[in-house]
Amino acid sequence: MIDVKKDYSEHGNIFSRLHRMLEPYRYLTDIDASQGAITLGAVTVNVKDDSEDSIYHEYRIDRKTCAAETKAIFDYKYTKSERLQREMAHVNIGSSLWYQNDIAEQLQAKFFVVVADNGDLPLTFYRIVDNSCTKVGQLNTSEPEFVKEFWRSKLGL
């Protein structure tokens, strides 16, 4: 059994389970688990429930200043639907990917779209910069050391 961080919601998908293998200073919150308006620094987001896809924020806590810093926003997708493929091909102003990337920029964080293979590995990571979606890499294993190295070298987190 692999020792991972506790899943406080007692739920999770392949992405959140892999994230729990990372170092304990890498916090992750599923903002879809909350409902209604959420304030993230200077940004307020209205959240509604979605059973397969989730939006996560990875953050760090500075214990000395009692401040949190968002490092990345991950938009986890259960599968790469035709609609998602169209949206990723042309990240238009007003689209959900554009909006989430704008929030990430305001928070000085990175924004990734994470696409599972029908809820399982491999996970394919895409980064949106300047309204362009680029494949960053693919995570094919749940081996903890490989997951940690992927986070550092491919995602830069």
Reduced to 3 states (helix: H, G, I; strand: E, B; else coil), residue 71 is strand
Give CA–CA dist 98/149, Å, rounded: 28
Question: Would 1 be classed as within a structural domain?
Answer: no
Write out the residue range of the structural domain in which residue 149 sits. Answer: 14-153
For 138-148, what is each residue's pLDDT tens digit?
Answer: 999 999 999 99
* Cβ atoms 96, 102 nearer than 8 A: no
User: Which residues on adjacent β-strands are paired with residue 55?
Assistant: 75
Question: Would 75 be classed as within a structural domain?
Answer: yes
* Number of domains into which the chain is organized: 1
For 72-130, what is each residue's pLDDT tens digit?
Answer: 999 999 999 999 999 999 999 999 999 999 999 999 999 999 999 999 999 999 999 88
Percentage above 70 pLDDT, the chain: 80
Question: Would 4 be classed as within a structural domain?
Answer: no
pLDDT band for 51, please (50, 70, 90 cuts).
low
Considering only CA atoms, give the Rg of the chain.
15
